Amino acid sequence: MIVRTHTRLHTPLRALVRLYRALDEELAAFPFACRMDGDCCRFALSGLRLYISSLEAIYLFGGSEPLGSGKAGLLEAGGERTCPFLVDGRCNRRTLRALGCRIYTCDSLLNERTQPIYERYHRQIRDLHRDHDLPYEYRDILAWCHDLDLSSKSGAASRKELRPPPR
């Protein structure tokens, strides 16, 4: 599935990548404890929900890699709500992952310490929307999947464009 993006989005998407790089550098000072088991991506199991902004949705869904589970990850066997990018227990968008994925760790005490960092970078992402005149929405990743019509049980996702509104 490929989600095409409007050329007006190239500059804010590059700025988002720079922001993610700065975050990754800042987080390198923390002893992250990731079990790499995908449990945090199994939302029903973990009790977590992943919220992403409009620009992050464009970035994540704009890739050409296939979505997980053949059903956009909305349902796995047994009806479990999962991240659409969880494939064989691993994230197939690891390098593109959203702010929440980058900062979350299996260590709850560390999550408390990194919360102010999350809030600071989230403000910067909001600023990117404002500075580039992009509509801002902050919603559950599964809601984005639904709106992009990625919930087909056959895995045949329709192609929709994510683009900024006309000026």
For 27-57, how does the pLDDT look when each residue is reduced to its tens digit (9 = 90+)? 999 887 677 788 888 888 888 899 999 999 9
Predicted TM-score (pTM) above 0.95: no
What pLDDT score does 112 carry?
Answer: 86
Burial of 40 (0-12, 13-18, 19+ CB in 10 A): buried
Buried b (16+ CB within 10 A) or exposed e, 90-126: ebbbeebbbbbbbbbbeeeebeeebeebbeebbeebe
What pLDDT score does 5 carry?
Answer: 52
Among residues of the chain, what percentage have pLDDT more than 90? Answer: 39
What pLDDT score does 21 carry?
Answer: 96
For 6-26, how does the pLDDT look when each residue is reduced to its tens digit (9 = 90+)? 667 899 999 999 999 999 999
What pLDDT score does 154 carry?
Answer: 35
Distance CA 55, CA 41 (A): 20
In this prediction, residue 64 has a pLDDT band, given cuts at 50, 70 and 90, of very low
For 87-117, how does the pLDDT look when each residue is reduced to its tens digit (9 = 90+)? 888 888 888 999 999 998 888 788 888 999 9
Residue pair 56/16 in contact by the 8 Å Cβ criterion: yes
Q: SS3 of 52, please?
A: strand
In angstroms, how far is CA 160 from the centroid of its own chain?
A: 18
